[in-house]
A = this chain, B = another copy of it.
Amino acid sequence: MSVISLGSMAFDAIETPFGKIDRIVGGSAIYVAYAATHLVQPVYQISIVGNDFPAEEMEELKKRGVKLEGVEIVADKKSFFWSGKYHLDMNTRDTLITDLNVLADFNPIVPESYQDAEFLMLGNVLPVLQMSVINQMKKRPKLIVLDTMNFWMETAMEDLKKVLTMIDVLLINDSEARFLSEEFSLVKAAKKILGMGPKYLIIKKGEHGALLFHENHVFFAPALPLEEVFDPTGAGDTFAGGFIGHLARTKDISFKNMKTAIIVGSAMASFCVEKFGPQRLKEITK
């Protein structure tokens, strides 16, 4: 089983209480790819980069079973750039710079060679682009997982609500769940959100673990308590990559197996935060 992964490939500048890095490869699709390929290959990447994206990174991705036909390279523009600074609690961060660059013109195309993929991971980009990818699939994938964020709820709620009716699993964090549902209680929020379309809802709570909701069932997966969180960037995307990677590897999309997939996603994320960027995900072995 293979996975299509839609999302950004970018450069990040990150400052945490423990250190600072001016330029490191990042973006949601990078983290999903480095996490998921530990479990399943190929991962069919759909993204866009500029002329500055390193050829060695592309080679590294290929070596790990990431297919890049769906990654557009724009010759006269730069890659998406994000810069952020984490607060001492590591749960909150300020975005310092968002240079969309190539991402402003992103028009994802699903290559013919990707059409056999049965798992679709829609990373955090414009809802209308997520919808476009679903619509380009000739056969509906077995499972469609969608990640999104507050920003799209504030600026593109109508499109987001539309795409929510087309997916299976929604992946958001606690504050996003509250924002989307206008409910403070996460259990109430989950009920409302499951009424918007998704059959499964995963609420990520960082160090506090993750909640999985489906019909009247709920599963609370603790996170591994870590001595140090060095850089939380990409932890959510890594979780997503581990989650869908496990489901695709086992070809089992039951509620029971989703519980295991959440533990796998959590374990992956616990590695991700140990170093800057996706570095640690490249080092770990099975």
Contacts and interface: CB of A to CB of B under 8 A. Distances in A.
A232 to B, nearest CB: 13
User: Is the interface on chain A under 10, 10 to 19, 20 to 34, or 35 or more residues?
Assistant: 20 to 34
A75 interface: no
A187 B270 CA distance: 14
Contacts of A211: 225
Interface string A68-90: 00000000000000000000110
A275 interface: no
A37 to B, nearest CB: 28
A227 B187 contact: yes
B220 A186 contact: no
A108 interface: no
Contacts of A209: 208-209, 220, 222
B225 A222 contact: no
Given A208-B208, A222-B209, A228 B89 contact: no
Interface string A216-239: 001011111111110000000000
Contacts of A89: 184
A185 interface: yes
Given A205-B208, A208-B209, A187 B225 contact: yes
Contacts of A223: 220
Q: Which of A185, A211, A222, A226 has the most CB of B within 10 A?
A: A222
A188 interface: yes
Interface string A186-207: 1110000000000000000100
A89 B174 CA distance: 13
Nearest to A205: B208
Interface in A82-108: 88-89
22 contacts: A88-B184, A89-B184, A185-B227, A185-B228, A185-B229, A187-B225, A187-B227, A188-B227, A188-B228, A205-B208, A208-B208, A208-B209, A209-B209, A209-B220, A209-B222, A211-B225, A220-B222, A220-B223, A220-B224, A220-B225, A221-B222, A222-B222
Interface of A: 88-89, 184-188, 205, 208-209, 211, 218, 220-229
